[in-house]
Amino acid sequence: MYHEPAIDSPEDILKRIRKSRWKGVLLVHPVATNLVDHISKTIPCVSVVENYRKSHVDSVDVDQTEAISMLVSQLHDSGHRKIGFLSWIYDVPTPWVYHRFGAYVESLFMLGLSFDPDRVLNVGPGSSYSSEEVADQVVELIRGGTTAFMCAADHQAYFLQELLEKRGIRVPEDCSLTGFDGVDPPSGQNQIATVKVPYDEIGRSAFHQLIRRIEQPIAPRRHVVVDGTLLQGSSISEI
């Protein structure tokens, strides 16, 4: 299994792969796209979580579309109609944020809800708020009628909850929150409504895909998705 180191050059990595006589490689995100392309031309490989569409690399991930749909439906069933979406800004590419955002928009339309770009923070060009600024923006949107926010990841949701509490906003009484990933809550915080990613099953599926790729090197590329598990949590209120 290979996780991209911070100090090795692509040339050094490829040399080590050739000398190792490995039969295959599992890529654990994030790995630079140009390096993935070089590795895939050197040895059969499968990516865990990240989907490198332009390279001949199979990938295995949680079904992000279905996961977000479950969370939006849970909010909708609880009476929420004005639902926002937010993320943090990272120093590395975060395509998973856009995947989840796209699923959020699709889910709104499927439920007959309107999409308001003013309720979206740190997704797309021109939006680069710090976490403190995001919290301030969320407070303003709550005052304007937004009742729930979907965070692109659990760690964002838990930290946002802390920031909102410092601003006098209670979760879920004043605002409902959802996350994504299924990480354990920080000490002193209750479980956020989220989808738990089945990492063990993703790992097993990635291994089986790698065996397939080794045995069938020219087979069509596959993107395999595994269902996540909805965790109800206590961060959604009825309205």
> Under the phi-then-psi rule, with left for phi > 0, alpha for psi from -120 to 50, and beta for the rest, what region is 138?
alpha
Structure tokens at 230: 């909805």
**Domains of the chain: residue spans and CATH:** 2-61+198-226 (3.40.50.2300), 64-196 (3.40.50.2300)
Instruction: State pLDDT tens for residues 81-128.
Output: 999 999 999 987 788 899 999 999 999 999 999 999 999 999 987 789
Comparing 7 with 9, the larger pLDDT belongs to 9
Number of helical H runs and strand E runs in the chain: 7, 11
* Integer Cα distance of 26 and 17 in angstroms: 12
Which tens digit of pLDDT belongs to each residue from 127-147? 899 999 999 999 999 999 999
Phi, psi dihedral angles at 211 (to 5 degrees): -60, -45
Scanning the chain, the segments in alpha helix (DSSP H) are 10-20, 33-42, 64-77, 95-110, 131-143, 154-166, 199-215
pLDDT at 2 over 60: no
CB 167 within 8 A of CB 139: yes
What is the biggest distance separating any 2 CA atoms in the chain, rounded to whole angstroms? 62
Residue of 7, 164, 168, 16 whose CA lies nearest to 84:
164
Amino acid letter, 103: A
pTM over 0.75: yes
Residue 4's pLDDT is: 45
**For 117, which DSSP code?**
G
Q: What is the pLDDT of residue 7?
A: 46
Rounded Cα gap, residues 47 and 69, in angstroms: 24
Predicted confidence band of residue 204 (pLDDT cuts 50, 70, 90): very high
